[in-house]
Chains A and B, each alone.
Chain A
């Protein structure tokens, strides 16, 4: 396993010299796009999903797969379709995570309302997943992103079980925990996450709570928004507009 080998080398003293010295300069863009330097103290990321806009095309799932090389059958983000009928009947489906979009399948009740709900890691403030990690491989960055150190992770899967949103999985090749990073390699270069970039209807947006002019910050402050499963007190940083009570 790559992670184990790397760690072993690290322990033998071949891990190299620490690279991180205050972060400015580290986020240098590889091309000519984006910002030249990155200072994480200027950012506090939040994510806003507008359920009323989502059309369930699955382009976000596809872009995430390609950007992050997510293995087949696993998802860092996925879309669920909720169909609700008379008498409170609910049908939820997510064929292949919505990777290829949805088709008009039949349900045996009259649908009175229906909507698509994109899901992903909520990058919670009180995140259960990092708390249970026995080796400190899962952590929250100063700018509010929950990450996994794949070289340090031992693949115990404890965090996968701890996440109440089902946002993590054990990677079938590396055998360590994997999850949405809000495309940390992109946002620190001034690019949008792949899912946000790919959404044709602007149902997904990433914002910065430290920027007073940020439209997402304004939307969260001035419009009705909800989070998934607030009763768990995980304080998600992923907000939803137009969320129905049936969504879990």
Chain B
């Protein structure tokens, strides 16, 4: 009987050792190696200063405009689509569609009153113009959106 218990314990110990990853339990009830795996994942987006090395001057002039708080990558796409390991790998997408502008500026329930927003049909009626896929850009430069200073 005692022998059986010992055999069972030994088998249990062997099986447990085999099935437990080497770093499990180092910091807690998890595989510590996963921390390094999580941290080493590649970033797709950059940061607010990521465009500066190549587009520094433009960056500075845009940053003071009304869209200064909008990161370049929000409209143009992630840095990772454009640059990899210091080399250009693709052209940044440039979206000129009304739909991009209206994501922020379409008048909606829930948008605070002091945020600039329009009802497109009313706005076009007021300023004179016809709806088209790139109609906003006819008057507004996305990098300096205010009209008349």
Residues of A within 8 A of B (CB): 7, 10-11, 15, 17-20, 23, 26-27, 30-31, 33-34, 38, 52-53, 55-59, 63, 66-67, 81-83, 100-104, 111, 114-116, 136-142, 147, 149, 151-152, 181, 184-186, 188-189, 191-192, 194, 197-198, 200-202
Contact = CB atoms under 8 A, between A and B. Distances in A.
Contact of A100 (B48, B49, B103): B103
Contacts of A10: 21
Given A63-B73, A67-B45, A19 B33 contact: yes
B110 interface: yes
B22 A17 contact: yes
A202 B71 CA distance: 11
B76 to A, nearest CB: 12
Interface of chain A: mostly helix, strand, loop or mixed: loop
B44 to A, nearest CB: 5
Contacts of B46: 33, 191
A18 B21 CA distance: 9
A82 B108 CA distance: 12
Interface string B81-94: 00000100000000
Nearest to A193: B45
Given A185-B41, A191-B47, A201-B69, A136 B31 contact: yes
